[in-house]
Amino acid sequence: MADIVVKTEDVVKEYRMGSNILRALDGINIEIERGEYISLMGPSGSGKSTLFNMIGALDRPTEGQVYIDGQNMSQLSQRQIAAFRCHRVGYIFQSYNLLHVRSAHGNVTLPMIFAGISERDRNERAEKLLDMVGLGDRMYHLPDELSGGQRQRVAIARALANDPSIILADEPTANLDTITGREIIDLIKRLNNEQGVTVISATHDLKMLDVSDRIVDIRDGLVERIRKRDEIDIEVGEVGGEGE
């Protein structure tokens, strides 16, 4: 049997906009296996970021359940949710979301501070991680002193700080130029291959297609279709050529 790491059951999310109710997710059912690289694709407003937030316990569904590692997320206490965000998931955002008052090194150590890791160990690990993402020489720079690609690298190092089993990446390349975006994708893919981290990425960057194991197309809050990578090989060639 497949090792299911994320499972959603009829997940519905509604937002109240004044007197209107906006149904961002309209009953989403997906299963994601451990070690997979999944891309949630869809135009803006399709609900992919909302789904991303549900899977990452960053928001609560209006209806339905999200299971991670077999745990029903709605039954967790506040403390468990905090521990879940701290240990199990690494988040990467479109706008990096680095704390601009902390250096690259300070950003990477923060989740480890929350995890209660000793100062010596966390400094050591932060240095190792920043080295790995190619920022060994800019460790003590503030985010404002780094380029977009470098900031996203810091975010990736930070996401890996507590050795998570899932990386959630929300449009990680949207603010980056093509080449830098490609480098970021390669870095995430490498983590997926080498460390067996499950990667779930909300994106409409077509460059992400050819590294994904499966692509979940989201439209109007519903799963439109799920494609395996080998089903879309030809498509990628065409679109990729156009895009460069």
Partner 1 sequence: MQQRTPIEEQIDLPFVESLRISFQSLKIRFGRSIITTAGITLGIAFLVSVWTNNEIGVALQESGRQSTINTFEETTEQGISTKDIWLIVMSLIVCVVGIANSMLMAVTERFREIGTMKCLGALDGFVVRLFLLESGFQGFSGALIGALIGTLGAVLLGLKDYGLDLFFYFPLLPAQPENGPMQLGVIIVILLGCILGMILAVIGSSFPAWRAAKLPPAEAMRTEV
CA-to-CA distance for 97 and 111, rounded, in angstroms?
Answer: 13
Site string for partner 1, 70-109 (x = CB under 8 A): xx----xxxxx-xxxxxxx--x-x---xxx-xx---x---
Residue among 120, 97, 100 nearest 109 (CA): 120
Binding residue for partner 1, selected from 110, 132, 222, 239, defined by CB under 8 A: 110
- What are the start-end ranges of the E strands in the chain? 4-17, 20-33, 37-41, 63-68, 71-72, 89-92, 166-170, 198-203, 214-219, 222-228
Residue among 165, 156, 116, 117 nearest 134 (CA): 156
Residue 33 in the binding site for partner 1 (CB under 8 A): no
Pairing of strands 166-170, 198-203: parallel
- Which CB atom, from 207 or from 221, has the smaller least distance to partner 1? 221
The stretch near partner 1 (CB under 8 A) out of 24-32, 51-59, 182-190, 225-233 is 51-59
Residue 117 in the binding site for partner 1 (CB under 8 A): no
Q: What is the DSSP string of 109-134?
A: HHHHHHTT--HHHHHHHHHHHHHHTT
Q: In whole angstroms, how close is the CB of 101 to partner 1 at the nearest point?
A: 4
CA-to-CA distance for 155 and 169, rounded, in angstroms?
Answer: 10
User: Which pair of tokens denotes residue 182?
Assistant: 């490609």
Residue 178 in the binding site for partner 1 (CB under 8 A): no
Q: In whole angstroms, how close is the CB of 170 to partner 1 at the nearest point?
A: 10
Residue among 184, 221, 170, 223 nearest 56 (CA): 170
Residue 215's DSSP bridge partners are 39, 227
198-237: contacts with partner 1 (CB under 8 A): none
Binding residue for partner 1, selected from 14, 31, 58, 174, defined by CB under 8 A: 58
155-174: contacts with partner 1 (CB under 8 A): 158, 162-163, 165
- Which CB atom, from 13 or from 214, has the smaller least distance to partner 1? 13
Residues that bind partner 1 (CB under 8 A): 53, 56, 58-60, 69-71, 76-80, 82-88, 91, 93, 97-99, 101-102, 106, 110-111, 113-116, 142, 158, 162-163, 165, 195-197
